[in-house]
Structures are given as C-alpha cells and as structure tokens.
Chains A and B, each alone.
Chain A
Amino acid sequence: MKQLITGDEAIARGAWEAGVRFAAGYPGTPSTEILENTSTYPEIHSEWAPNEKTALESVIGASIAGARSLAAMKHVGLNVAADPFFTFAYIGVNAGAVIISADEPGQFSSQNEQDNRNYAKAAMVPMFEPADSQECKDMLIEAYEISEKHDIPVLLRMTTRVCHSKSMVELGDRAEVPIKPYVKNIQKYVAVPAYARLMKVKIQQNFELLKEFSNNCQWNRAEYGDTEIGIICSGDCYLYTREVFGDGASYLKLGFTNPLPDQLIRDFASKVEKIYIIEENDPYLEQHVRALGIQCDGKNLFPRNGEMTPEVIRRVVFGEQYPLEEQLQKVVVPRPPTLCAGCPHRGFFYELGKRKKVMISGDIGCYTLASGAPYNAMDSTVCMGASISLGHGAQQVFDMVVGEKPRVVSVIGDSTFFHTGINSLLDAAYNRSNLITVVLDNRITAMTGQQENPGSGYTIAREVTEAVNIESLARAMGIKNVRTINPNQLAEVNEALDWALDMDEQTVIITRWPCALKKQSPWDLEEFQGAFTETYFVDEAVCIGCRKCTRTGCPAVVFQFEKKKSSIDPDKCVGCSVCAQVCPVQAIQKVEA
C-alpha cells in the first residue's frame, strides 16, 4: 500500500518496519514528529528525554542490551549529544543504532545553520542522506543492517524539507528482530584509553570496508542524460537539480555520503564535461571532490546559506533574475509570530520589559518572541540552557563595575530548564551568584507543539509519571530565595521583581500558569481553576483610545482606527485579563456569564 507521508513519518514507519524497539529524543523542529510518530507504534518504546545527550545515552544502552534503537534530534541537538556520539562510534553496537539529525538550511526555526554532515566525517560514522520520504524509510532500514554488520552507529541526516515534505511511500511489514543476548564485554564497551586505542584502529579498518559499500550500494548512482553538465548532489538537492535540468544534465546522486564513493566520483567525472556540486550549507561533497583532483564548480558560485531551491540554482547557473515586484514589496507588511492570546508569558514580559538597568538573558522557546515588539525584553539568546550560565557570567562582570551596576535577569522555560538549565542553575548556585533566574513554567514544551516533559506529569505515551518540583530543586541547590507567582497578575509580577532586584542575592522566581494551547491535565484543572474560561470586552463608552492595551501585544486586542476605540475578539480572548489590568480607565471588563 502507498501513502502520502512526511519524511518524519517515514522515519517512524521505517523504524517500525526495521524492528526497532527503543526510541528516544528531545523535541526540536524539524525532528519533533519522528518521536511523536514512533510513539504511536506499540512495539516501539518511545521516550522524550530531558535532552539529546541523555536521549542518545539511553539509546546506546538499549543497543548494548540488544534492541535496535533510534535517537532523533534537530541539528543543534547533536551538539548536546556530541559527547556520547563520538565515543559511541568507538564502542560500537550490539543491536543496530541510528541517530537522526534534522538540519535546517534556511533556519526556519533555529538559532544557527550548521551542517551536521561534518559530524559524520569527524566521528567516522557512516551516513545516509535521503531526498524524499520513500528514501527516508528505505535508507533507515538499510542503516540498521550497516550498523550491525560494521558494529557502528549510523547517522541519517535530514533537512527541513525532507522532514516536512510529503511524498508517496510504499509501506511494508515489520521485521521481527529478536532482542540479542547481552554479553559482558569490557574491552568492547569500556572506553578507557587502553581499549579505546584499539577501538580507534577498528573504526579506521571499518571505514575502508565502508568505502567498498559506498562505491557499490544502490544509494549512490549515476544517471546519465546530456553529458555536457554533470551534477554531483545529495539529499533533497537531487530533487531540485532534477527539477531544473531534467534530462539536460547527468547526475551523480549520492545517498550514502560517509565515506564517499571515490571510484564512482572519478568515473562520473571522466564522463561529463563540466561539473557542478550542488549542496546546501557547507562544501562537504565539494571539498572531497576537489581533494580527488577533480575540477568543479561549487561554493564559488552557489550560496553557502539558505535553501538550495530550484530558483537559486536557476539564478546561479542560468542567470535568471526576476525583478522584484516593487508594488508588492512596498505594501506587504510582515506578520511575525506573536505570543498567543492568553499566553502566560505576556504579563511577565510586559512588566519585565519596562524595567531599567537590567540585562535580560534569554533562552530558547516561545518566550524568545519577547525579544521583539512590543516587549523588547531580551538582551541575548544563544542556546538551550544558556540563559542562566550566561547571565551568571555577565553578572559577575557587572559586579566589578563601580556605581549602580546592572542586574541580570535570566529567563528560561520549564522544558529548557530541564534540558540543560538545571546544570546552569547549579553553576550559579555553586558560585554564589547574585543572579535572578526566572523559570517560565507553562507546564508543557510549547514551542514545538505541546510535548510532555519531566514537569508535566506525563510521558510521551501519556502515562502518568512524577512531575519534578522546580522550587524544591532550586532549594536543594542551596538557593534560599525562591518564589512561585501567577504571571497573569501584574501586581504579583512587579512585587516579585522588586523583591528580587532589591536584594543582592541569588533568587529564583517561578511563573506558573499553563500554556493557552495546552490540553489541561486533571491536576491542571484543579490547580488553575477557571483558567481560559472567561472572556473580556471593551466598553466603548469608557475607552479613551489610549491604546495601552494594544501594547500588551495580544492578538485578541484589536484597535479600531476609524473609531479610535479598542475591541476584543471574543473568539480569541481566553480571559487572562492582562489588558484589563493595564487599562487606565477600567474600560475592559469581564463578560458576565
């Protein structure tokens, strides 16, 4: 049977067909849907891990214990998991293990555009690069064979378009792969120098064998059309080049890209006139081809940033330039994403953004939107968990300045706090910081679309589990000033900020209110009674048109320019009341049931 599915769904399906029993990851665009889909197969035990490092480590354990296993993460997630990744290559597997890296050329939802093919090269780990959903599934199944045959984990590198595009996939049956017996093998699994030196030799030998595979496998193939132009490409770039050149060029389509197939490349190069290397991000293929002494064009012509869409290829190769549509350019205004109506971050950032002499150290999540208008309430964002440790470092230097020193407020979401923020808070606590840390606890991993986390009380399979208590955690680190507040109550927010700023000590404020999009749990309903059940309206007779309410940035508040009055969209308002609290004339009132 054929189905139209995304690359992420195809990976989950491939895992199921390959007999995978254990899958772990941390949510991150564009990889999130992989685990969400593996969790729908009862045969695959799926888990959200607190971060990618622990996810990969649990996958290593599952492999050693004898089950085929899968780790899935976005590109920057592999940075977090890089430590186990490199040494996993050394110790190898018992049952097959595959790591999915979902890269983001074009940075739709990421802080950088790194090319994770470099990780495969650096770790000498075999790598696949699928172009469409069918290849996602087929390559993943083959990856498990390679992993077991060569005793090494395999990296499968996807990109946003591969993850999120839908194409037809022929579905197959599940292979029942039994759990392999666990055999204690100290020389294999204990990476101490004496054994690890031998492991390194084994990886190098393996790599030579994998070159054989690369030259002869079905995933690397030449397709000959017109031989005046020869294109070497991998991943979705094959689809884009095919679209542009059709049969007017020849293609060396590479799907298994570490190690690269030297013979195949030399053979292809000898049969075509002019070679273009068309790849997104880094000159990964190009550097290899050039090292073989083959003349080619690559990043000297094509951009190293953004997606390598057919438009980009046409522009570079054929000089096809479209004039900007000037009239459109003039009138089309941006539509940036905003905090949702009822978002618990709104009230907090509305107030924090007004504070002077503070540096706001931000982190990764919905609340990063507070860096934009109307809040402008963020000074820095680097990576998951950095808000606290970066803020701590900054505060130490500010403390060296004589006079009225700036205070640092580090803001971090609940899921990001569990991801790597706990370590950062420990850094600040241990080093006697006077940092102000705010954990924006909206009871869910919101940015990536409502995934459970260690604080939400559920596993990915919606099984009830312990919910970690952030307040107790902070106190256990020795932090004495810890408070939990309702971020929708602006007076409470201001009181807590004053309290923290007036003290030259380390403080932790937890803003606790659920995400407006969250499917509330029974204990949410008990704790946050009446949340999201009310709506507010503007009494136009009272409204003075000052537009203070619009400065809360709520999408439910609409200013009627012709009337010079505010109004509230009753379909969007969920009754957080932040706009009512900022209204100077009490024109915003609750709709009485």
Chain B
Amino acid sequence: MSTKNILITGVGGQGTILASKLLTNGLIEAGYDVKMSEVHGMSQREGPVLTHVRYGDKVYSPIVEKRKADLIMGFEELEVLRNLDYLRDDGKGIVIFNRVRVNPIGVQMGKDKYPTNGEELIRERAGKLIALDGQAEARKLGNPRVMNIILLGVLIRELGLEEIDWNRIIAENVKEKFVPLNQQALRVGLNLE
C-alpha cells in the first residue's frame, strides 16, 4: 500500500502525545512500517503540539508534506486551521476535530482575533469533516480528559483500523487505573454517529 499520512494537533496538555503513541503502537501491531515525528518543545507552555504519523509498507521521511495529509485529527480549532494546508486538496482529505477554542495569549490580550469562520474554512477544504464536542462526550464518561481517546476512536474507524486489538494497546500504554476509562472512551469514538 502507499504510505498514509496523518497529523495530530492540539495545544499542550490535550493528550496529543498519548493519542499518537497509542495509534503508532497499534499500527506496528498491524505490521506496518511506521514513522512518527513530534514538535513539542513548547507544549507545556500553552504552545501548539503537532505530531506527524506515517505508515505503510516502507516509510522513508518521518514528516508529512503540505497537501499530502490523508487525515488531520485536531483537538483545538485554531490548531486545525494552522495546519489545514497539510490536508490533501483533492477533496479526499478527512478532518476530525474537537469543537473547542483555546485563546492564545494575543487573543486574550485583545491584540489578535480568534477566527470566527474556522469551521467553514475547514469544511471547504475537507472531503469529510467530523466535528464533535469531545469534552462533552468525555464528560459523560466522567472525565473530560479522555476527549483525545474518543477522537482516536473516530480516527480508527475512518481509517478502517478496527481489526487491531486496541484494548490491549491501551492496557499496555496507559496507567492501570485509567485503562477501563480509556477503553470505554475508545468504544464511544468507534461507535459515534
């Protein structure tokens, strides 16, 4: 198969790193060659986080090129917009995003304006857009932090990767007491309308 290109993006603390760790471990299980690259130097300081994941028979470069991403999963609206030009522009790109806005410092101070037409722009570019209030879904499970895993469930479904034993991948990579919650969150994502 040709190499698939995925981007996962968000703001520090939203669980980008865990989501990509689970995804890549699952892809390895499935026998793919996998490469992943992270830019996370400032992630603890409210900065943006961007993870590149590439998988296929043989992967060379660890970074996704602009206009070549098959799927962008974003945990924050502005960060999806920031990276939207990575999405393939042949109308076949998929965007899964969490309808949440985290104001950058410039917006908070009234210097910048948070884009108002973000979702519109994403819809224009994406072949398929799945936008959801991930935190609300996660809150139903009792913990808004598993938003990332719910979205990961959606991603798995969209990429047709349901055959992989994700429950085991979660069990191997998440703190024991959070395993059932994360497994439940993944199921929610897999079955989301």
Contact = CB atoms under 8 A, between A and B. Distances in A.
Contacts of B118: 331
Contact of B46 (A29, A108, A337): A337
Contacts of B191: none
B37 to A, nearest CB: 4
Interface in B99-123: 103-115, 117-118, 121
Contact of B62 (A165, A339, A449, A557): A165
A340 B42 CA distance: 11
Interface string A408-424: 00000000000000000
B174 interface: no
Contacts, number: 142
Contacts of A366: 45
Contact of A336 (B24, B25, B84, B106): B106
B142 interface: no
Which of B39, B60, B110 has most chain A Cβ within 10 Å?
B60
Interface string A331-343: 1111111111000
Interface stretch (B74-82, B155-163, B178-186): B74-82
B115 A331 contact: yes
Given A325-B84, A328-B121, A332-B82, A337 B106 contact: no
A322 interface: yes
Contacts of A166: 24, 34-37, 62
A161 B37 contact: yes
Which of B11, B25, B108, B118 has most chain A Cβ within 10 Å?
B108
A389 to B, nearest CB: 27
Contacts of A311: 65-66
A551 B63 contact: no
Interface in A314-364: 314, 322, 325, 327-328, 331-340
B81 A331 contact: yes
B105 A325 contact: no
B84 A243 contact: no
Contact of B115 (A332, A374, A550, A557): A332
Given A335-B11, A340-B44, A4 B34 contact: yes
A465 to B, nearest CB: 26
Given A167-B62, A449-B44, A335 B34 contact: no
Given A166-B62, A333-B78, 4 more contacts: A167-B34, A336-B104, A373-B111, A547-B109
7 closest A-B pairs by CB: A337-B42, A331-B115, A165-B62, A337-B45, A337-B47, A243-B61, A333-B112
